[in-house]
């Protein structure tokens, strides 16, 4: 996966011109990585000292515990990981994708996307599979989906060739991960990945950045014209929609 930040291909009538791009630093991405590493360090130390993965027992996705009323487990599994390799792969993906998206999403909306994707992934996993699970990949699949939506919705700025290349790259990455998850013997929560994917798509479609070029020669600026009301509505749709899905096991038990 390339870590090159997507840059819009802007075709303007005169030259030279200056196009001001968003310059946000990936503060929230760095904070999420730091928090995840901190929780894993505590999880690892406690497990080493006691022989029991206590943090997972109290915060992992365990269906019986959720049915008993511990609904925080529909979100907290994104904080925990099963091994150093597990967290290393997830944090690498978060670093690569987060730097690209946060630049355009902004810190708060990026965090909202991450949390909603994690919630959606854990909800679908809770409803469709009895296996316990943990990890930030639910949220990361939501980021991947949101990036695809972002590129597609702003394809006029990126250019048709580059849009096709980036969408194809993302599609291959997603497909390979999902195929691996469905392989026999794989210890992957694919329902969680698909849930995160759906959550990311639903939020990004109406809540993601909608870029537009504004200004006068020779200075142009790329701005996000997405209204805050649209972002809020998209967040509510994902939250309420997946909350309703999460109720299904309770009413059918």
Q: What is the pLDDT of residues 136-158, one digit of tens each?
A: 999 999 999 999 999 999 998 88
Q: 184-239: per-residue pLDDT in tens?
A: 666 789 999 999 999 999 999 999 999 988 876 667 788 899 999 999 999 999 99
Residue 11 has a pLDDT of: 43
Q: 52-62: per-residue pLDDT in tens?
A: 999 999 999 99
**Which residue among the candidates 36, 81, 133, 193 is catalytic per the annotation?**
193
Per the model's pLDDT, the better-predicted residue between 23 and 13 turns out to be: 23
Is residue 9's pLDDT more than 50?
A: no
Query: Starting from the edge strand earliest in sequence, which strands make up the sheet with 219-224, in order?
Result: 18-20, 219-224, 211-216
| Catalytic residue status for 14 | no
**Which residue among the candidates 137, 184, 186, 243 is catalytic per the annotation?**
137
Is residue 13's pLDDT more than 50?
A: no
Locate the domains of the chain by residue range.
18-252
- At 87, give phi and psi (nearest 5°): -70, -35
Tell me the CATH number of domain 18-252, given options 1.20.1540.10, 3.90.1300.10, 3.40.50.300, 1.10.3450.40. 1.20.1540.10
**DSSP per residue over 140-172, as a string?**
HHHHHHHHHHHHHHTHHHH-HHHHHHHHHHHHH
pTM of the predicted structure, to 2 decimals: 0.89
> Distance between CA 156 and CA 176 in Å, rounded?
28
| Catalytic residue status for 82 | no
When pLDDT is cut at 50, 70 and 90, the band that residue 44 belongs to is very high
How high does pLDDT run on average in the chain?
89
Is residue 6's pLDDT more than 60?
A: no
- Dihedral (Cα; 61, 185, 95, 63), 10-degree rounding: -10
**Residue 118 near residue 136, CB atoms below 8 Å:** yes
């Amino acid at each position: 996966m390339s870590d090159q930040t997507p840059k819009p291909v802007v075709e303007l009538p005169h030259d030279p011109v200056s196009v001001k791009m968003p310059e946000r630093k990936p503060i929230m991405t760095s904070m999420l990585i730091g928090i995840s590493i901190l929780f894993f360090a505590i999880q690892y130390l406690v497990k080493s000292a006691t022989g029991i993965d206590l943090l997972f027992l109290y915060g992992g996705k365990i269906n019986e515990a959720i049915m008993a009323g511990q609904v925080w487990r529909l979100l907290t599994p994104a904080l925990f990981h099963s091994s150093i390799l597990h967290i290393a792969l997830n944090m690498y993906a978060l670093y690569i994708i987060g730097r690209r998206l946060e630049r355009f999403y902004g810190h708060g909306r990026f965090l909202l996307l991450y949390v909603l994707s994690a919630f959606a992934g854990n909800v679908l996993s809770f409803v469709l599979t009895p296996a316990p699970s943990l990890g930030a990949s639910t949220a990361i699949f939501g980021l991947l989906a949101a990036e695809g939506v972002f590129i597609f919705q702003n394809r006029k700025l990126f250019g048709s060739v580059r849009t096709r290349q980036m969408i194809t790259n993302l599609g291959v990455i997603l497909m390979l991960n999902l195929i691996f998850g469905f392989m026999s013997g794989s210890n992957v929560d694919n329902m969680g990945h698909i849930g995160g994917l759906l959550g990311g798509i639903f939020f990004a479609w109406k809540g993601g950045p909608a870029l537009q070029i504004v200004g006068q020669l020779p200075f142009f600026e790329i701005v996000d014209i997405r209204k805050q009301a649209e972002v809020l509505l998209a967040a509510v749709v994902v939250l309420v929609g997946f909350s309703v899905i999460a109720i299904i096991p309770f009413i059918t038990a």
